[in-house]
Amino acid sequence: MAKKRSCRRSAEEDRQHDIAVSIRKMTDKQICNHIEMVRKEAYDKGRDAGYKAGQEETGEKGNGKDAVNKFLKAIQLANIKGVGVVTVAKILAYAQENGYAV
């Protein structure tokens, strides 16, 4: 396939070309740092969006311990196959030891 002439590229294609050229000119270390930065920004953006969506859905802005306590109570009351009394007790003990629950 023949190469597309630069005079026939759209503005978006020119922008993409400039980005690709700048990445190809980077050293390995610069590329790794750039990818790590982009990954962290994407993770933070996704995490923050999920956190806000959860707050909007529940209508609460409580602390995390309230949510953990509600979750632990729900586990105790639910009849989940494969999760017995001993497993629930271990989860409760771990949550209390590490300060996740009261």
- Whole-angstrom distance, CA of residue 34 vs CA of residue 52: 27
Quick: pLDDT tens for 25-54.
999 999 999 999 988 888 888 877 877 777
Quick: pLDDT tens for 58-99.
776 666 777 788 888 888 888 888 888 899 889 889 988 888
CA angle 97/51/47 to nearest 5° reads: 95
Checking 58-66 for CB contacts under 8 A at 24+ apart, the result is: 64/100, 65/100, 65/101, 65/102
Q: What is the pLDDT of residue 24?
A: 92
